[in-house]
Amino acid sequence: MKLYSADKSELMDVSSIERDGDELVIKGKVFGAMPLNARLRPDEARKVFGLMNVKLVLFILTLPFRKGRS
């Protein structure tokens, strides 16, 4: 999975998402070169719900079924 910046350049290439105890570990490379292991703790994961509304949740659920843009 790749994440892109506002200017459509590659920001991060996520190679895996794994569980480590009660944390989620996201592994990948930033800017195509620098390795990164990010950890998401349960208290931080709960904060995501405060950032979303119903319309955003529905959009996220339909996102995998939408056509991509090049």
Tens digit of each residue's pLDDT, the chain (70 residues):
999 999 989 999 999 999 999 999 999 999 989 999 999 999 999 999 899 999 999 999 999 999 977 5
State residue 13's pLDDT score: 95
Specify the pLDDT at position 32: 86
Decide: pTM greater than 0.95: no
Whole-number pLDDT of residue 35: 96
**Dist. CA 40–CA 46, nearest whole Å:** 10
